[in-house]
Homo-oligomer: A and B are copies of this chain.
Amino acid sequence: MSHNSFGHLFRFTTWGESHGPALGVVVDGCPPGLEISEAEIQAYLDRRKPGTSKFVTQRREPDAVRVLSGVMPKPLVDETEPDDSTTLITTGTPISMMIENKDQRSKDYGEIRRQYRPGHADFAYDAKYGIRDYRGGGRSSARETAARVAAGAIARKVLEASFPMVKIRAAMVGMGTQSIDRTNWDWDEVNRNPFFMPDAQAVGRWETYLEEVRKAGSSVGALIEVQAQGIPAGLGAPVYGKLDQDIASALMSINAVKGVEIGNGMEAASLTGEENADEIRMGADGQPEFLSNNSGGVLGGISNGDTIVARFAVKPTSSILTERRSIDADGQEVDVRTKGRHDPCVGIRAVPIAEAMMACVLADHWLRHRGQVGW
Contacts and interface: CB of A to CB of B under 8 A. Distances in A.
Which one of A3, A300, A373 has the greatest number of beta carbons of chain B within 10 Å? A3
Contact of A296 (B127, B237, B258, B316): B258
Contacts of A291: 325
27 contacts: A1-B28, A4-B237, A5-B5, A5-B11, A14-B239, A17-B70, A22-B68, A29-B371, A32-B131, A72-B133, A117-B277, A118-B280, A120-B300, A128-B302, A140-B301, A174-B269, A245-B249, A245-B252, A253-B301, A274-B320, A279-B326, A280-B325, A282-B331, A368-B371, A370-B371, A370-B374, A371-B371
A65 B263 CA distance: 36
Contacts of A109: none
A201 interface: no
A237 B132 CA distance: 13
Given A4-B240, A16-B68, A259-B265, A119 B273 contact: yes
A304 B128 CA distance: 9
Contacts of A98: 98
A107 interface: no
Contacts of A31: 372-374
Given A32-B373, A315-B268, A238 B139 contact: yes
A272 interface: yes
A248 B249 CA distance: 6
A262 B369 CA distance: 30
A21 B68 CA distance: 6
A208 interface: no
A317 interface: yes
Given A24-B96, A267-B313, A274-B320, A240 B5 contact: yes
Interface string A312-338: 011111111010111100010100000
Contacts of A249: 245-246, 248-249, 252
A242 interface: yes
A148 to B, nearest CB: 9
A360 B232 CA distance: 30
A75 interface: yes
Contacts of A23: 69
Given A13-B94, A26-B15, A219 B299 contact: no
A152 interface: no
A144 B127 CA distance: 36
Contact of A276 (B5, B119, B234, B272): B119
B124 A299 contact: yes
